[in-house]
Amino acid sequence: MNDIPWLQLSRDLQAEMVEQRRQLHAIPELGFKEEKTAAFVAEKLGQSGYRVREKVGATGVVGDLGPRPVVAIRAEMDGLPIADGTGSMYRSQHAGISHSCGHDVNMACALAAAKLLASQGNLERGVRILMQPASEEIADAEGKTGTFRVIEDGAMEGLNSIIGLHIDATMPAGTVGIISESTRPIPNNFKIEISAGATGRDKFDAVRVTSILLQELFSTSNKESENQASTIINAIETATTAPEAACQHVILKGTFNAFNKDARREQMKRIESACEAINSKTATCHLQYLESDAAGQVDAEISEIMRQVACELVGEANVRLVKRKTWTEDFAALLKVVPGSMVLLGGQIPTSRRSHHSPAFDVDESALYVGAAILAATAYRLQKQSQ
């Protein structure tokens, strides 16, 4: 690895990583509202010598180092609408919001990797750090998540590859996992078409029926489910046969955001129940789930490079091939644009295994330096190999 002692250099930053992780953990913010978080990471990247661009994809941050960045290290910025129940000294200061998926760790590792790469002096080709907002399927008014917004703002332009890291509280600290299969997300977009049924077409009013559907859809929610999922209607399209006639056809397009599999199934059940409630001889309601636009897959060659790097740094016995996790799915949108891969960093607390997306979520911080070293060494190798 060009005789660069990545692991030792990264170990020297371990205390700094832990401090930064805890600072970020205390200020979690929801998607597209990551103002304090963005200011924090922008300042750190600037101190490491990166050319910083803020407000990318609304609240994202991009830092470039060296000539023509060809490889990016990506980390997520947003927290979840889940109260912090850890009781730790660095617990969330924002009521009802926490980094209960570990994005604070991901950012801390990416910032340390950025610092390690900057310490190597002039790079043959550049490196980009992409701090992405709204990764937790939180959509904006147009139904787009942070991945799509940063792509639109040019965050992926000029890149040949992209890599990322996600903390995994189910793997022992010091171990790493290389995702070896598709990160294609589960569909979470839907379309509902309302039209006249077999009888009563002359008196049918699709707008009136739509109002009943919306009432059914949103009246079934409760406080518990709202903590885990939400439904957003992004567009309503209507059609009439004549200016004076009642509306005969309505199309609703929407997104349901769910933070775990159970919440996702509950959302689908609620939508289906609402549609069934208005299906009758006088009205038909057709529900269709749409595939996400993000269908990217991890790149086999980049995954193998990352695996080789990890084996060189921590030993083959501590490296495993793993299946994707639901909380890594958002990365797929970026992989559709540029090939890439992701490493999972072990952070299981030995005496108390914690679950992602839960109030008690926390990690063993003892091996954060391993993640930063793998990111930096992989990015360094990829920029060397880029044409």
- Calculate the alpha carbon distances from 233 to 21, 33, 81, 189 in Å: 35, 20, 20, 10
pLDDT at residue 233, as a whole number:
76
C-alpha closest to that of 34 among 61, 63, 59, 62: 59
pTM of the complete model: 0.75
pLDDT at residue 223, as a whole number:
42
pLDDT at residue 241, as a whole number:
59
Mutual orientation of helices 368-385 and 103-118 as an angle, nearest 10°? 50
What is the amino acid identity at position 36?
K
Q: Are 386 and 70 in contact (CB under 8 A)?
A: yes
For residue 108, give both structure tokens. Answer: 């801390």
For residue 273, give both structure tokens. Answer: 């129940």
Spell out the domains of the chain, with CATH numbers in brackets. 6-184+295-385 (3.40.630.10), 189-290 (3.30.70.360)
Please state, in angstroms and rounded to a whole number, the distance separating the CA atoms of residues 181 and 343: 12
pLDDT at residue 205, as a whole number:
87
**Grouped pLDDT means (10 residues each) for the chain, 387 residues:** 88 98 98 97 98 97 96 97 94 96 97 97 93 83 85 96 96 92 58 84 83 81 46 72 73 70 74 88 84 67 96 97 74 89 95 88 97 98 87
Instruction: Give the burial class of 60: count Cβ atoms within 10 A of its Cβ; 0-12 exposed, 13-18 middle, 19 or more buried.
Output: buried
Q: In 51-160, at which residue ranges do the beta strands (DSSP E only) sit?
A: 51-56, 60-65, 69-76, 126-132
CB atoms within 10 A of CB 293: 15
Give the tens place of pLDDT for each residue, 242-288.
Answer: 566 678 889 988 877 654 556 667 788 888 888 988 888 788 999 98
pLDDT at residue 237, as a whole number:
78
Q: Are 86 and 12 in contact (CB under 8 A)?
A: no
What is the amino acid identity at position 382?
L
